[in-house]
Chain A
Amino acid sequence: MSTAPAPHRPSARVQLAAVFRKEVGQTIRDRRVMFLLMVAPLVQTVVFGFAVDFDVDRVPTLVADGDRSSESRSHARRLLADGTLAPAGSAGSVAEAERAIDRGEAAAALVLPRGLGADLAAGRPATVQVLLDGTDPNRATVAGAAASRYFGDLGERMARERLAARGMPEPARIDLVPRIAYNPELRSPPFMVPGIAAMLLVIVTTLTSAMGLAREREMGTLEQVLVTPLRPLLLLVGKMAPFVVIGLVDVMLLVGLGTWLFDIPIRGSPAVFLAATLLYLMTTLGVGLLISTVSATQQQAFLGGFLFAMPAIILSGVMTPIRAMPEWLQLVTRLNPLRYFVEVMRGVLLRGAGFGDLWPQLAALAVLGAVILAVATSRFHKRLA
């Protein structure tokens, strides 16, 4: 026979299990929140995986053919058939072509001068003009390069033919033989989808945890729980637990979906990937906690979360390469956990990288996570004390 035990504080394990059960249960029961945390990232990954494509092809191009010879027509046709440029009609003059670009009916115009065919046949120098719509610099650069390459090749070919016709020996040629590793078709989704997943994870974890805690503060429920025998640190761990679970499930779903829908390979070590995900969640949840401690209302927590998330996304290399940023901004990106997580994801999935290649990123995530969590926890304690 046992007697009733004296009232005492339950062990940390029991406390933790209780908080965990309550928090996870509460989160799962809120259908709308669950929908937003689980289904929304999936839908977004699918939509944006298809949306994000930087390939420049089929640039609508006008032809202003001042020559109207069979030669000029054949050059225009061959240049517009290579895939980068696509025919969008013809213009009578340069001014007309410029007006069409103004109105957005074409993004480029090829201007062939009068006498082009005759000049080429006679071996006289010739000049062709290309007008480009510069509002999208990337597209303009690619379209301009396509035209330059075509006429460069044409000039070289004609020179060689002429040399051969004169019975002179053919000059040597240097061929650049490119081979593309990891992604031979140069598709955008394998690179972008991991980035999008990392981006969505910030929004799901940082914003939701910051706002969730701010909401409890608004309603005063945090203080109520604190009068129970629960230790504040365990309460905190319990509050974060559902987000860690949701984050992990989200990552697995997103990667699974990516491999299935976008043929994203998983070439490297899943263990490194998992470790990086946990460390990354530690940083994003730490930031969420930190934000909640400096916010009195949900609205403020949201603004704070947003203030963190936007620069973190821009400075992560998800959308544009970090190497293209100015040097001082590249230094700032070293404080960005998103940057390291994206590098690990892309390294593991696409390049087959392992711990030996990615330990600097993992170390950076661990340090950032530890610092952020330490600051956030001490602020949390202070707020409650």
Chain B
Amino acid sequence: MRERLRRSLVRVGAMAAKETQHVLRDPRTLYMSLGMPVVLLFLFGYGLSFDLDRIPVAVEDRDHTEQSRSLLDALTASGELEAVAGAEAGAAEALFRRGEALAALVVPEGYADDLSNRRGTRVQLLVDGADAVVANQVLSKADALVRAEARRLLGPDLADVAPPIQVRVFTLYNPEGRSAVFMVPGLAVYLLAITAVLLTALTIAGEWERGSMEQLFASPVGRLEIVLGKLLPYLVLGILELQLVVAFGAVAFDLPIRGNGLLLFAFGAMFLVGMLGQGLLVSVVARNQLVATQAGALSALLPSLLLSGMVFPIENMPAVLQALSRVVPARYLVHALRGILLKGNGLDVLWPDLVALVVFAFAVIVLATARFQRRLA
């Protein structure tokens, strides 16, 4: 029994060695799995941010007084908003259409009079609502700036009657609110999904397409051993990639590593096993590389990007999609990586994620092996 196991392991090892040579000899695959993560990490880290500054706002001052100018100065002083000329007489929407302004602010005639006579005055803000995220930022920034100006004007009046209520905000884990710290764990997951599903699906679909899989079966190597041997190098590659991404994230974007590094790789390895199984399943079902790519992208890449909580919060999705996201393994790994890296969570908090990953890996491997056997029969 032990002798059989030993021989079997030798055969798996030989298959793995052969596949490793294939990978090593093809610089493109290596680039894909080790160079591309760095490039993408760079792009994601710098490119995916929602924080806008210097938001172009068309301003129209109908009052032309010292007070109205002081309001406009106060709005643009912080650099969050930037004044653009040309909001006169309904031209604002033309600016929106050309993307030259995102909002238009009108200071009404009589603004200074209203202030000095202690009447209420209304400053109008027209916001380009096409992009809801940007519009919300414009609204809350303009609102805060106008309030601050109002408080500055009224300061002497109010200070002696009521001391202010202070709100102290402490942001845990990511005090500067940097997008990169949020994105990098998600990106690591996404890159692992790409390597594991697409590379295996393409490699194995290529063997089917060329008919070389049948030749391999004619060799004394068992079928399961072939599959294991083929997947093993990609598992190693995936783990290397995870290390690379985390290390690069730590160096380039100050990504903290607060939790246990070994736990990180346990989660990563479990996720990879599931994703490799999915790649195998895709290749068996698709039978050629063109279909395998599209099926892999459809079943693994887009869900990993959009339903994992990596960029778009899961809590906001409708109930059906929240339920669907429960069968996307990336969801659990994204949650676990953020927990380990940013919060320093341990297994006591993250065990449900690990259970989910194990269940997914088990289910998909059973399914893939069953389809694989049937395919050959």
- Give residues in A with beta carbon < 8 Å to B: 32-33, 36-37, 40, 44, 47-48, 50-58, 98, 101-104, 120, 123-142, 144-145, 147-149, 151-152, 154-156, 158-159, 162-163, 166, 168-184, 186-188, 190-191, 203, 207-208, 211-212, 215, 297-300, 302-303, 306-307, 310-311, 314-315, 319-321, 323-326, 329, 343, 346-347, 350-353, 357-358
Closest beta carbon of chain A to B167's beta carbon, Å: 5
How far apart are the CA atoms of A231 and B300 in the complex, in Å?
Answer: 40
In the complex, given contacts A36-B291, A207-B297, A298-B206, what are 4 additional A-B residue pairs having Cβ atoms less than 8 angstroms apart?
A50-B321, A103-B345, A137-B177, A140-B174
- Determine the interface band of chain B, counting residues with CB < 8 A from chain A: 35 or more
Give Cα A347 to B324, complex, Å.
32
CB 8 Å contact bits of B305-329 with A (1 = contact, 0 = none): 0110001110111101100100000
Q: Which of A171, A174, A314 contacts B157 (CB 8 A)?
A: A171
Contacts of B164 in A (CB 8 A): 125, 155
B contact residues around A138 at 8 Å (CB): 50, 133
| Contact (A175, B129) CB under 8 Å given A123-B162, A152-B147 | no
The answer to whether B203 has its CB under 8 Å from any CB of chain A is: yes
Q: Is B211 engaged at the interface, CB distance under 8 Å to the other chain?
A: no
Residues from chain A with Cβ under 8 Å of B165 in the complex: 120, 125-128, 151-152, 154-155
Distance between Cα atoms of A177 and B123 in the complex (Å): 6
* Residues of B with C-beta under 8 A to A58: 315
Residue numbers in A under 8 Å from B345 (CB-CB):
102-104
- Some 17 contacts from A to B, beta carbons below 8 A apart, are A50-B318, A53-B312, A53-B313, A104-B349, A137-B181, A173-B150, A178-B124, A180-B135, A184-B129, A186-B132, A188-B133, A203-B294, A306-B32, A307-B32, A311-B43, A351-B93, A358-B97
User: Taking the nearest CB of chain B, how far is it from the CB of A290, in angstroms?
Assistant: 16
- B50 & A51 in contact (Cβ 8 Å cutoff): no
CB nearest neighbor in A for B166: A127
Q: Please name all residues of chain A whose beta carbon is closer than 8 Å to the beta carbon of B349 when the two chains form the complex.
A: 102-104
A186-B126 in contact (CB<8A): no
Q: Are B119 and A303 in contact (CB under 8 A)?
A: no
Determine the residue in chain A with the shortest Cβ distance to B161.
Answer: A162
Q: Which of B97, B295, B318, B338 makes the CB contact (< 8 A) with A353?
A: B97
CB contact list, B136-162 vs A, under 8 A: 136, 139-140, 142-144, 146-147, 149-151, 153-154, 157-158, 161-162
A158 to B163 alpha-carbon distance, docked (Å): 10
Residue of B nearest to A102 (CB): B343
Known contacts A104-B339, A176-B142; is A182 also within 8 Å of B130 by CB? yes
User: B234: shortest Cβ distance to chain A, in Å?
Assistant: 13
Q: Does B7 contact A (CB under 8 A)?
A: no
Given A51-B317, A55-B316, A319-B311, A215 contacting B290 (CB threshold 8 A): yes
Assess the B294–A151 pair: CB atoms within 8 A: no
Judge whether B262 is part of the interface by a CB distance below 8 angstroms.
no
Q: Is B175 an interface residue (CB 8 A)?
A: yes
Quick check: is B173 within 8 A (CB to CB) of the other chain?
yes
Partner-A contacts on B (CB < 8 A): 28-29, 31-32, 36, 39-40, 43-44, 46-52, 54-55, 71, 93-94, 96-99, 114-136, 139-140, 142-144, 146-147, 149-151, 153-154, 157-158, 161-175, 177-179, 181-182, 194, 198, 202-203, 206, 286, 289-291, 293-295, 297-298, 302, 306-307, 311-313, 315-318, 320-321, 324, 335, 338-339, 342-345, 349
Q: Report the minimum CB–CB distance from B339 to chain A (whole Å).
A: 7
Q: Is the CB of A172 within 8 A of B118?
A: yes
Contact across chains for B163 and A177 when beta carbons are under 8 A apart: no
Contacts A324-B49, A329-B47; is A132 near B129 (CB within 8 Å)? no
Task: Kindly provide the distance from the CB of A177 to the nearest chain B CB, expressed in whole angstroms.
Answer: 5
B102 to nearest A CB, angstroms? Answer: 8
Supposing A181-B93, A215-B290, A357-B94 touch, asked if A54 and B313 sit within 8 A by C-beta, the answer is: yes
The answer to whether A303 and B29 have CB atoms under 8 Å apart is: yes
How many angstroms between the C-alpha atoms of A191 and B54 in the bound complex?
Answer: 21
Sorted nearest first, the 7 A-B pairs with minimum C-beta distance are A134-B174, A137-B177, A183-B129, A159-B162, A180-B129, A125-B163, A134-B171
Q: Are B167 and A40 within 8 A (Cβ)?
A: no
Residues of chain B lying within 8 A (CB to CB) of residue A174: 71, 115, 120-121, 123, 146, 149-150, 153
Contact residue among B118, B139, B321 (Cβ-Cβ distance under 8 Å from A51): B321
- From B134, B157, B335, contact of A163 by CB (8 A): B157
User: Are B118 and A171 closer than 8 Å at their CB atoms?
Assistant: yes
A320 and B316 in contact, given A158-B162, A181-B96, A311-B43 (Cβ under 8 angstroms): no
Contact of B122 among A32, A131, A175, A326 (CB under 8 A): A175
Please judge, given known A-B contacts A123-B163, A138-B50, whether A186 and B136 are in contact too, CB under 8 Å.
Answer: yes
Contact, CB under 8 Å: B149 / A101: no
Q: Are the C-beta atoms of A32 and B291 separated by less than 8 Å?
A: yes
Give Cα A212 to B182, complex, Å. Answer: 37
Measured CA separation A104–B313 after assembly (Å): 14
By a CB distance below 8 angstroms, the chain B residues around A177 are: 122-125
Q: In the docked arrangement, what's the CA distance between A281 and B45, Å?
A: 29
Q: B316 — nearest CB in chain A belongs to which residue?
A: A53
